[in-house]
Structure 1
Amino acid sequence: MGVAGDVTHDVYDRSPRATLYVPCMQSPARFMDIGIRTAGDPMRLAPAVTAAIRSVDAEQPINQVRTMVTAMHHQATGLTYVAVMMGIFGVLALVLAAVGVYGVMSYLVSEQTHEIGIRMALGAPRTTVLKVLFRRGLVTAGAGLAVGLPIAFFFARLLASLIFGVDAADAATFTGIPAALLAAAAIAIYVPARRAMRIDPIVALRYE
């Protein structure tokens, strides 16, 4: 008798559960899996293992000789499909969010054309006007990220507790997506601001 360490039996469930191991002769089963640890390529030992089993019982059927990695991939096929679909929808959501951010920021900058005209008529340099617009726009975008990131982290932790292999604090995700949204906001600020600064200040003063 002895005590074994925790074993993950299911790729969908990482929580350990009580398991009792008994000798095969005391609890015969119709199907049996044999796991063998190797130091090299496991498939190179497949013929030797098959021959060893045949030497004990020549009529013993043997099928599905495969590596543990292959077995895990086969078991996680459904989960992999769901993960791929979630990834596709996530990319689409990111694109829609970037388009939405671009539209909102572009509209907000366009609404400030009159103010841009006043600043330029009073002699403000173009770079100064552009800095003001960038500061306002990025503060607005940053406020949105400050609200959205904690919510995203909460749902990421929830997803990590339900699906094996999901990292709740994935650095690439929590830095790449905010960077993409901030880039969309910066482009949305720069394009209409540059267009507005090219307008004659007198025309910009009449803009409503």
Structure 2
Amino acid sequence: MKLLKTMLLSAILVCLSCKEDNSTLSKINEAKDAVESTTNILSTVNEAKEKVEKLKNTKPVTPETIKAWMPEALDDLKRQKYKLGNAGLVNISTIDLDYRNPDDMPKNLHVEIIDGAGAGSAMIYMYTMIGKTTMESETDNGYEKIHKRDGIAVKERYRKQKYNSSIKMEFLVNDRFAVNARGNNIEPDEFWKYMKALEVEELIKTK
């Protein structure tokens, strides 16, 4: 914080050396805005670090807890297979789930969930930043943006082709569980209903 104050004071002193009053005021305001922006960024980073540090001392969910929680179906989508753990992620609790509509085979959904507790905390940092950033782009056949769904910051990408569509969502549940989901031939709002039906938050309530 002392550094930021020094930066602002230095910027103002430099600007005061200018001859034009309007120009001086403008430059002071620009300097002030730049310092405030830097302060906000540092605050966001520190907040994310605090969450990650807290998760390091939290015990990950066990395979037994995960099995007791796993939904067999999400409305019309039936679970086809699951995978617990990842050989490339030592001591990190991960869950992979595949769902498909048996009567509408092109309609499918894959979900990867990472528990940020314990060693998994290192994987969570970028997800904590989703709600702190803004991004939006649109093309003739889709879009990509960060927005809120039911109060949750979601990074969302949707593509519509002639005969099929694809969607991907990334978000964080309870500041702990990173969800990376993708699907085919499912519209965005319907896809989110499936995400809500997962009830990921129940993982820390299941015994």
TM-score under structure 2 normalisation?
Answer: 0.25
Instruction: Report the structure, 1 or 2, having the larger helix content.
Output: 1
Pick the structure with greater CA Rg: 1
Instruction: Report the structure, 1 or 2, having the larger strand content.
Output: 2
